[in-house]
Amino acid sequence: ELVRVRFQEFLQNFSETVTTYVTQTAEDDAQDGNNIQQQLLYPYIDQAAEISQRQTRAQSHRTGFESSHADMDDFDLFPFNSTICVNFRHLLSYDPDLADAIESEYVRFEPYLRRATKEFILSNHPELDPSNDGGGGGGHSRNQVRTYFVALYNAPTVLPVRALRTGTIGRFTSVSGTVTRTSDVRPELLVGSFRCRKCGLLAPDILQQYHLTRPALCRNPRCQNRNPSEFHLEIRAGGGGGDSG
């Protein structure tokens, strides 16, 4: 939980100073330093704003309010409507202890990073939160983005493929190599809803453990079904049966 709080603070507060040089007249150039401007930027707050704009345009395209090439581009790039790209060196400079924890136990902390990202985006853009609709059925309440993701890049260490060992399992690792074959991109089930075949009770939000993970026990006290094979994945219209990434 502490990782979630500190990562959300990083996304909200990290800033960097950008220096720009402004072309001026010869008289102004005679004064030292007048052609230099410094600007404070918040890259992740800016990314959250871009995500909000993409979701707005994509939603407008789906509902038929607008139709343009820009909307089509946002609709085609839908995965980027829910992903914040984080420079790992930014995290390392802002909070070295947090960066070390994420690097050494990424698999353990990744769900907390996703929760922090979602809370960060919705706190800055509450109009994206479906629960804010109040049942009116308009605006962004039909937004299908339920899960947000973090894409870390610029790792301090890059390993060749041959150097990968069992010690790197679960760690945040960057690898280099040559791609010799590709396949179609397949979605990964992250959270699924399962229905008991005996009593019909739905078990929502079952976290998947890198394979199809069914409930261990039915929540119905009169059923008490303990056979995992007696739970089937609930598929709803629009992909509402689970979150995939």
33-86: per-residue pLDDT in tens? 557 777 889 999 999 999 888 888 777 765 555 445 444 444 445 557 889 999
**CA quadruple 148, 154, 156, 158: dihedral positive or negative?**
positive
How far apart (Å, rounded) are the C-alpha atoms in residues 114 and 7?
Answer: 10
Burial class of 91 by CB neighbour count within 10 A (0 to 12, 13 to 18, 19+): buried
Burial class of 11 by CB neighbour count within 10 A (0 to 12, 13 to 18, 19+): buried
How far apart (Å, rounded) are the C-alpha atoms in residues 8 and 2?
Answer: 10
CB 219 within 8 A of CB 201: yes
Cβ atoms within 10 A of the Cβ of 183, count?
Answer: 5
- For the stretch 204-211, contacts whose Cβ atoms lie closer than 8 Å and that sit 24 or more positions apart, written own/partner, are 207/111
Q: What is the pLDDT along the chain (245 residues), one digit of tens a residue?
A: 899 999 999 999 999 888 877 665 555 554 555 577 778 899 999 999 998 888 887 777 655 554 454 444 444 455 578 899 999 999 999 999 999 999 999 988 998 999 999 999 999 998 888 776 544 444 444 555 678 899 999 988 899 988 888 888 888 989 999 989 998 888 888 888 999 999 999 998 888 877 889 999 999 999 989 998 899 998 754 444 455 55
